[in-house]
Copies of this chain bind each other. A is one copy, B any other.
Amino acid sequence: MRLSQYFLPTLKENPSEAQIVSHRLMLRAGMIRQSSAGIYNWLPLGLRVLRKIEQIVREEQDLAGCQEVLMPTIQPSELWQKSGRYDDYGKEMLRITDRHGRDMLYGPTNEEAITDVVKMECQSYKDMPKMLYHIQWKFRDEVRPRFGIMRGREFLMKDSYSFDIDYESSKAAYNKMFVAYLRTFNRLGVKAIPMRADTGPIGGDLSHEFLVLADTGESGVFVHKDVLDFDIPGDDVDYNEDLQPIVDKWTSLYAATDEKHEEGVEAELGDDLLAARGIEVGHIFHFGTKYSKPMGATVTDQNGTEIDLQMGSYGIGVSRLIGAIIEASHDDDGIIWPESVAPFTVGIINLKTGDETCDETCDRLYKELNAAGVETLIDDTAERAGGKFKNMDLIGIPWHVVIGPRGLKNGVAEVKNRKSGEKQEIAITDLVAHFSK
């Protein structure tokens, strides 16, 4: 993309309405703009990051054997009356009356909706197990929306649901999601730690939250420091094998949010206990027959007996993750994107726009890099060099390629790594091969 044509309205000053760093930087980097309280427009740069995160989440769900569906945003109230949550959910649920006076709602989550689909389409134990997910906008009418997309009202969530005929296989589904989550967050470039969690309004008896560690995180967390070095399951992980050993390992040492933190742990663990801060980005629950029973989601077993399905649900806050990644990865100059979610991998800075050789070299590199599949942004504006550096740092592009008359004389560009700040000279002729490796 050519910056001169890109719709990227960056801000030099910190907007006064933003209290936390991710909100500030998303506004300053031209990623989002508020539409109304807790509801945002995603501008091109923000949307690119959102789609990358979404795609990594999707790939890992698919790998775990979860199948993608898409449920609508607007749900009929009847489903929630059946489960008993219509009244329980309170004012956080956005309730709507349609033109025929029918009570509808904007889905804050989808346990009822997916249970209804499975109930209608699956009658036999032969149709089980099922793991289904969707990535869809949700709405929760927060009393006081704040912190940008971190606690917004309209947000993008991946929610998966498992259906099984008994506890053992439902536990296996839970373990698959546990492992998929470890892999997902790792690919997104953040350190996320599973912690035992309250089950809250969704209910159930087995539950873990995944929290991204970030100095500016919303919650205090206490983690045995060895957990930080546990291995992430690799590409060779076999989801058809027993994953219990992986889950056991990851839950073998202490890890808790301050809400669940137990007295005496400090004394017991001493220096092994790390007190840090974290941001919740995922939550997994096993809740048995909590929804299948009231909604009549049963299948017949081998003997023709009706059995209530065992269920679990598994959420990842896709839009929230952008905030969490920024909280975990930024400096005074701006965002530092992990390469896997960066909107562009390379940013070309033309030090002397108007200089024929500079312009020509930049333009050729820009085309060649993109043709080689390296997503590249070129700052072809007439802004002065200092402003271009600041801007590229602010929006967090992982690699900056600086082209100027002096380097060109020697046939080299300066390549800067945004994260480490390290700079090296690379021959112009080697650049495409360097980045498309």
**Which of A's residues lie within 8 Å of B, judged by CB?**
5-7, 9, 33, 35-36, 39-44, 47, 50, 65, 67-76, 91-92, 94, 96, 98-99, 102, 104, 106, 113, 116-117, 120-122, 130, 132, 137, 139, 141, 143, 153-154
Contact = CB atoms under 8 A, between A and B. Distances in A.
B40 A69 contact: no
B35 A72 contact: yes
13 contacts: A35-B113, A35-B116, A39-B72, A39-B74, A41-B113, A44-B69, A73-B137, A74-B106, A74-B154, A92-B99, A94-B98, A99-B143, A137-B137
Contacts of A130: 7
Nearest to A154: B72
A76 B36 CA distance: 6
Nearest to A35: B72
**Copies of this polypeptide in the complex:** 2
B96 A70 contact: no
Given A121-B9, A130-B7, A69 B94 contact: no
Contact of A69 (B42, B68, B102): B42
Given A35-B71, A35-B113, A71-B35, A7 B132 contact: yes
A35 B137 contact: no
Contacts of A44: 67-69
A78 B225 CA distance: 51
A139 B65 CA distance: 32
Contacts of A154: 72-74
Contacts of A39: 72, 74
Contacts of A40: 72
B7 A69 contact: yes
Given A36-B76, A47-B69, 20 more contacts: A7-B121, A9-B121, A9-B122, A33-B117, A33-B121, A35-B72, A35-B76, A36-B74, A41-B71, A41-B72, A41-B113, A41-B117, A42-B71, A72-B137, A74-B94, A74-B139, A96-B96, A96-B106, A99-B141, A137-B137
Residue of A44, A98, A106, A137 ringed by the most chain B CB atoms within 10 A: A98
A75 B35 contact: yes
Nearest to A75: B35
A120 B11 CA distance: 13
Contacts of A69: 7, 41-44, 47
Contacts of A36: 74-76, 102, 104
The 9 closest A-B pairs by CB, nearest first: A42-B70, A36-B76, A9-B121, A91-B99, A39-B72, A99-B141, A72-B154, A44-B67, A47-B70
Contacts of A120: 33
A146 B43 CA distance: 35
A5 B35 CA distance: 42
A7 B143 CA distance: 38
Contacts of A41: 69-72, 113, 117
A320 to B, nearest CB: 15
Contacts of A113: 35, 41
Contacts of A5: 65
Nearest to A113: B35
A141 B98 contact: yes
